[in-house]
Structure 1
């Protein structure tokens, strides 16, 4: 081992090496931790979906929030949180996410469908009707959106609108009047 001739100590000590390595590791962790890496939100979102599959809504909610912390515009995490809040009848929280997303990125048909469902469950059929119609304007060829809106209007007694949406869905799916949908 080489010695410093003035002090009689080794030039490279193990303690100093470990201390410098630790400082570099901590500095790297701080710098990397503050950077937005692609996929960070996706991994948290995946953990949230897994927690939902296992029935742990608390862990799912935390994971979805973590995904949004890592990627504030993570659409799937936003949709999942809205779905979770609607299922728990936490309409104000669902509404806040929807409004924030629309303010940031403009109208979103999937969020408007969820808004329609939320208003329907909350006993606000006129607001639900407006939300469903707005969603259909944004998703004119989405068979699931057409089916959901048709179901809403059918249960509300608006058979004409429900039939119109059902026929439109059949056209989108390429179903003739003699065929039945596979869904």
Structure 2
């Protein structure tokens, strides 16, 4: 596997080896020993999540104040623009974001450490998104940072004037100034 740091060094692009021929392809999407050796991280995943979304759906930017989650995310159908925002007050990249296109075609994954808000925008007609988490979902401590907060300034790949499809929780996301940090 190949590991590439993003503009935030702890947020990593993971590229597993893909073996293909005229019949199709095969990849080992996760191997704990190889992940640890390649990233220097020893993580234990406790939950897998799978979502299906239509084009221009934006999910996020979510995080949990308790039971904080590291996430290893990937797309198995379609493509998304995936984003992580650093909420760690003592970090040199506090308030910065990293974004990458993940797709079924490029097989890339993104490691989002605990202490980050996370979200994605569906670019294809539909997308299926899978992610492993290092702790369980804890709805009582879930927070949503506003996807369009001007202080954070994420450059979502939307056309000028276009709005994403959001649910009520994501519409009510907190501004950077009001969102709790770590």
Higher relative contact order (CA 8 A, sep 6+): 2
- In our comparison, the structure showing a higher alpha carbon Rg is 1
Instruction: Report the structure, 1 or 2, having the larger helix content.
Output: 1
TM-score by length of structure 2 reads 0.24
Instruction: Report the structure, 1 or 2, having the larger strand content.
Output: 2
TM-score by length of structure 1 reads 0.24
